[in-house]
Amino acid sequence: MSPEMRQFLEKEREKVKKNRIKNKPLVVMTYLFVLVFIGMFSYLIYFMVKDTDTVVAKSSNKRQDSFDKYVTRGDIITSDGVVLATTEKDAEGEETRVYPYGSLFAHTVGYNSYGRSGIELSENVNLMRSHVNIFSKVGSDLASEKNIGDTIVTSLDVNLQQAAADALGDARGAVVVLEASTGRILTMYSNPTFDPNDIDNVWASVHSDEGSSSTVLLNRATQGLYAPGSTFKIITLLEYMKEHPDYENYHHTCYGSDIFNSVSIRCSNSAAHGDLDLAGTLAHSCNTSVANIGCNEIDIGELNKLAESLLYNGELPYDGEYSRSQFKLTADSNYSEIPQTVIGQGDTLVTPLHNALIMQAIANGGVLMKPSLVDSVQNADGVTLINYKSKSCGSIIDPELTQDIIPMLCQVVTDGTATQYLGSKPYTVAGKTGTAEYDNSGNCNSWFVGYSNVENPDIVISVVVEDYTTNQTSGTYVASCVFDAYYGY
């Protein structure tokens, strides 16, 4: 190699070396951005794997409506396979949503237009997604046919729902039945009801001038707020028992009416109950005795805490639409509000579902099970895709207190206000009646909350009947009809 060549190559090598040193920041920045892009790349995959299902299911996702180009909306059925909602296709391929039971499940199953409601709304995404096997899918692709959406298996029971509807008759009101140990909702009925097959006309009439005050679309079971009436006495008594472990020594003499904190409190029909212990107080739903407890025996601040731990003023563990119950009495409230509030009048409001949940917790020894309407999701061929297990929401009442109050709730049935309808049944029931005045002219709603088979609770029921005074259908009567249907009498 000539010196000239050597020199030339040497110079070149020098240049390359210098350039390499200069390039260090370049390499660093390149790696930095490669790293950032790997991060972004992985984030997108992570989003797709983890978050898509929840994002797609958001009710504000308008794209859900486009699924019907490829999928025929799936069925909604009961756990024993009775169809509650299905899609029928005519010769032209025109689809209509059909509800074989008409108005019976209107509020619970819901309707599939005008923004949807009920299960049609909450399970919309599952109904519009098809998980039929791959061969059927390719087959329908080739034939340009739609796939059939997944089936929603509900916990509803047609017999019980029918019994509740029949017992309620024309009376306005609501019935909720839960399976005690799991929280599965067997019945959820609200009256007045409507026919979802005819939703166009119903919607038009509700949104016309005459119908603007109509509450027909309201699901009273979850959204109707009622004064709890005497059913609230359970909570007042639980508080008393909590503060007074010697509650068995309680005594009160009822004269039919009395003055508490300068408020006059009367028992039903001003009938004097005479000498009562705590169990007798509950069994006969004695207003003066409970007012006495509220005004003289318990700490109102603690009562408020207990009510809130029993889900007043808070969220219910329920996925559908519901109204929040309210309990306004606090330690700072005017003391003249105490007597009315502790017997379930005043500003307190509760939904039938909420009242059922309190009773269910008592039946379960304090443990609340999350109420659910959907058991599972199946594909159109009946293969289970998702199985929803019953979920516990933890203990909300001291188990010992529930053990103490259950015999008293039994006495309501054996020797108390519920004896007329439930006293002589072949099954045992624990519960509480209630008559809640909602105006000053003596009009009232009738309640019953309770559960059957006290030793090993089967079902929990919560009934409210509006305008008891005019239609004379009591909550206890409706409950007895549903229990009869459940046990097959």
Partner 1 sequence: MANLICKTSKYLVLVFMALYTIKCYTYFTAKDREKRNSNLNKQIFYIFMIHFLCHIMLFINKEDVTVLIYYVVEIIIAILYIVLFRIFYKNSSKLMTNNVAFLMLIGYTVLLRLSPKLAVRQFILASIGLGVTIFIPFILGKFRNMKDRYILFGIFGILLLLSVFLPGVGKVVNGSRNWIDLKFISLQPMEFVKIIFIFFVASSLVKLSTLKELIINAAISAGFMLVLVLEKDFGAVMLFYVVYFSMVYLATSRAIFPILGLIFMVAACALGYMLFKDSLFAHIVVRVLAWKNPFAYQDTYGYQVCESLFGISSGGFAGTGLGNGMPYLIPVAESDFIFSAICEELGVIFGLALILIYLSGFIAMQNIAMKCKQPFYKYVTFGIAISYIFQVFLNIGGAIKFIPSTGVTLPLVSYGMSSVFSTLICFAIVQFVYILVSKEADDFEKERERIAYGEGSQNVSRNETVPGKRTRKSKEK
Gap between the Cα atoms of 199 and 135, Å rounded: 36
Shortest approach of partner 1 to residue 137 CB, angstroms? Answer: 10
Q: Shortest Cβ distance from residue 139 to partner 1 (Å)?
A: 11
Nearest approach, Cβ of 389 to partner 1 (angstroms)?
Answer: 26
| H/E segment holding residue 404 | helix 399-414
Which residue lies nearer to partner 1 by CB, 6 or 207?
6
Question: What number of other Cβ atoms are within 10 A of residue 487's Cβ?
Answer: 14
Rounded to the nearest whole angstrom, what is the least distance from the CB of residue 53 to partner 1 in the complex?
8
Minimum distance from CB of 150 to partner 1 (Å)? 16
Check if the beta carbon of residue 443 is closer than 8 Å to that of residue 437. Answer: yes
For the chain, count helices (H), then strands (E). 20, 19
Distance CA 378, CA 385 (A): 5
**C-alpha distance from residue 95 to each of 68, 87, 89 (Å):** 10, 6, 5
Nearer to partner 1, 133 or 330 (CB): 133
**Cβ proximity to partner 1, 1 vs 134, nearer residue:** 1
Strand residue runs (E) in 7-60: none
Q: Which two tokens stand for residue 442?
A: 């003596």
Q: For binding to partner 1 (CB under 8 A), which residues are involved?
A: 1-2, 4-5, 8-9, 12, 15, 19, 21-30, 33-34, 36-37, 39-41, 43-45, 47-48, 51-52, 55-56, 58, 60-63, 66, 69, 141-142, 144
Closest CB to partner 1 among residues 148, 156: 148
Query: Smallest distance from the beta carbon of 32 to partner 1, in angstroms?
Result: 9
Strand ranges inside 202-295, DSSP E: 252-254, 257-260, 263-266, 274-276
Tokens of 415: 């020797």
Contact 372, 155 (CB under 8 A): yes
- Cα 440 from chain centroid (whole Å): 31
Nearest residue (CB) to partner 1, 29 versus 271: 29
Are 370 and 394 in contact by the 8 Å Cβ rule? The answer is: no
| Least distance (Å) between residue 420 CB and partner 1 | 52
- Residue of 324, 281, 333, 279 lying closest to 304 (CA atoms): 333
Nearer to partner 1, 137 or 370 (CB): 137
Is the CB of 144 or the CB of 334 nearer to partner 1? Answer: 144
